[in-house]
Structure 1
Amino acid sequence: MTKSARARRVTISLFAAAAAVALLVLLPGTVGTTWQLVGGSLTQVSLPELALLGVVWMAGLCSHSYVLAASLPGLTKRRGLTLNLSGSAVSNVLPLGGAVGTGLNFAMTRRWGFSAGAFAGFLAVTTLVNVLAKLGVVAVALALSPVLGSTAALPAGRTGLLLLPVLAVLGLVGWVLGRAPVAGRAGRGLDRVVGMFRSSSSLESSLPELRSAILGVVRRGWRPLSLGMLAYLFLQAALLWLCFQVVGASLGLPLLITGLAVERLLTLVPITPGGAGVVEVGTIAALVALGGDPPLVTAGLLLFRGFTYLLEIPVGGTTLAIWLVWNRRRPVAA
């Protein structure tokens, strides 16, 4: 990496971190509450309640490990959980850390003996399933918004505009997956683009191979992929509901569905590490717009993000450290 590129990355990292901190510091004022009121609600949560929340959180991660294992034939659920936690620890700390987390997961799977091609298929399938799941939650919330009275918090026009780039990419992916000749033509076009920056590229041949690998994984593992993701979303919704319950907020169906949809939607926008600040401000503002009590809504959502974002950093970091120590003296799998 050149000095200018390194300086640019540091600048972006500092800006993103500062933006996240500023958003969190200013959060109470933007929704009409204070940190004193929010803190008072959070201190009412008992240790048994925190333990229950921790169990639900971990159950959600375990259910998602089924998705990861199905996306990479031969990967165990335990290793899938290790990939999930270690990758999240990195991506939740570093701005645009998803790329770093992906690199880490690639190194781990290579250590376990999986090929680079297998990892490429794994990455494509998991990314596709995760994005489709988030869009599915948003679609359900949009469809039910007239019935739930949540149109003000999740306006179809603005939401559709935000989703437009994601939907465009998904449409392109669906087109490539649907027809083999399209994959070859797309790879040839990408080769021309990449050739402007690199001396050689072989996407014309590798993209059709990746397409075949993805379709093979989906055909063999569609059941655990689907059931694992549905279980994960259900447990995420249960965790959100419980977080509001333990701080004393009465979370009805409109708030539950809308809150989860907005939170899922905003995690698609990687402005800050793990969406920190952006997700909290946007989701809480939406819930308050639906009539939620500002201090209680803020406390409940922060508690939820404490598990789904903050706790993943030390737990994932510890998991990664254990993996590094465990594999330091072990031979690389063939």
Structure 2
Amino acid sequence: MAAPLAPCRRRGADAGTSDAPAPTADPVPPRRGRRWLRVGVAVVAVGAVAWFAREELPPWAVLAEAFRRVDLPLLGVAAVVEVFSLWLFTRQQQVLFAGFGVRVPVGSAVAITYSRSAMSMTFPAGSFVSAAFAVEQFRRFGASRSTAATVMVLSGVVSVAGLGGLYLVGTAAAWLFPEAWQVVATVVGALAVASVVVRFALHRPLPAPKVKAVRSGGRIAGVVRARLADVTALPARYWAAGIGFAAANWAADLACLLITSTAFGVDLPLVQVGLVYLGIQLVRQVPISPGGIGVIETSLVAGLVLLGTGEATATAATLGYRMLSCWIIVPIGLATWFALSRRPAAVA
């Protein structure tokens, strides 16, 4: 990835620099380091799966019986819904970059999304590692380092805002209406309104806001102030669009859980399961473990059991959901990461 920079250095050498041979050795260590980094991610992922399987699961014979009774076509529908959820997150990223005048192709944005998801689920402090990776990837499409870093901050803000809004709407609907279909209709109606707002917000894109450059030698406080200034410079319509996509993303992920639970025979009110899910996801925003591994599984199993589901059924449903929303994404993300790493690096 450092190779494209070599011709610039050779031109400098031809102009009379005395250390011309040095750049020829530069590309080797980064490539070797990236190769070992990919291997390390794979090892961490396998180790995390092995640890969870040994420490947290009921006996395999009990789980095998629950998996034999699963409704496979319904589980396939849940998988499609989860793919749609990741696409919505990709659109969230695209619309935030569009607010700063940066256009990211859909295919590249999807590949970055899967790669980031794999990193956040496997690395310690995975959210920060994946954000740093995304900054470098989005620079390929003309985003400055400052703009890309600002969008990473924005993405986290609108994700929490979308999740919180969805939780408030769901809780209010559950308190106001006695029937489950009324609660679901309220949530769907709110998402429909959000969809209309998003379409209206993106109908006439505004000029990109000015992003203040941050000096590399600045203090952390100065960097934080600059990022906050950039965030407030984003037009309100892009805020609305970002939060709308974030809420739809969380709703699709929740739908994946509900469909998966039904496929495994969980017979609980959808509203109760939904509120348990939203509460867990709000707590999970504190990065206790990579990708919420261990936290989400334990909390979701405990919540389903408290609501009246058998432990084996609750565990099987949780594993099925996490398989679709986490474990399958890891190898896909590693493959997209490998593909992205073979592209020329951004120079700007």
Could you state the TM-score of these two structures normalised by the residue count of structure 1? 0.68
Distance 1:204 1:288, change over 3 A: closer
8 Å contact from structure 1 (residues 85, 312) kept in 2 = yes
Tell me if 1:288 matches 2:305. yes
Tell me if 1:249 matches 2:278. no
Tell me if 1:222 matches 2:239. yes
Measured after TM superposition, the shift of residue 219 of structure 1 is 1.9
Measured after TM superposition, the shift of residue 258 of structure 1 is 2.8
CA distance in 1, matches of 2:50, 2:295: 10
1:27 corresponds in structure 2 to: 56
Q: Percent identity over the alignment? A: 22
Distance 1:241 1:204, change over 3 A: closer
1:7 corresponds in structure 2 to: none
Matches within 5 A, 1:92-103: 92-103=121-132
Counterpart among 8, 17, 41 of residue 66 in structure 2: 41
Q: Secondary structure at the match of 1:250?
A: coil
Distance 1:36 1:265, change over 3 A: farther
2:83 corresponds in structure 1 to: 58
Can you list the C-alpha shifts for 1:123-181, whole angstroms capped at 9, x where unaligned?
Answer: 110011122333445555666787899xxxxxxxxxxxxxxxxxxxxxxxxxxxxxxxx
1:297 corresponds in structure 2 to: 314
Distance 1:146 1:278, change over 3 A: same
Counterpart among 162, 184, 190 of residue 133 in structure 1: 162
1:314 corresponds in structure 2 to: 331
Distance 1:317 1:200, change over 3 A: closer
Matches within 5 A, 1:105-124: 105-124=134-153
Measured after TM superposition, the shift of residue 216 of structure 1 is 3.0
Could you state the TM-score of these two structures normalised by the residue count of structure 2? 0.66
Can you list the C-alpha shifts for 1:167-214, whole angstroms capped at 9, x where unaligned?
Answer: xxxxxxxxxxxxxxxxxxxx9xxxxxxxxxxx9524565545433321
Measured after TM superposition, the shift of residue 106 of structure 1 is 1.6
8 Å contact from structure 2 (residues 112, 336) kept in 1 = no
Distance 1:117 1:101, change over 3 A: same
Unaligned residue ranges in structure 2 (runs of 5+)? 1-42, 179-213
Measured after TM superposition, the shift of residue 114 of structure 1 is 1.2
Select between 139-148 and 102-111 the one with higher mean Cα deviation: 139-148
Aligned residues: 267
Distance 1:143 1:27, change over 3 A: farther
Distance 1:15 1:221, change over 3 A: closer
8 Å contact from structure 1 (residues 259, 283) kept in 2 = yes
CA distance in 1, matches of 2:286, 2:239: 27
Distance 1:56 1:145, change over 3 A: closer
1:171 corresponds in structure 2 to: none
CA distance in 2, matches of 1:140, 1:19: 35
CA distance in 2, matches of 1:104, 1:119: 10
Q: Secondary structure at the match of 1:72?
A: helix
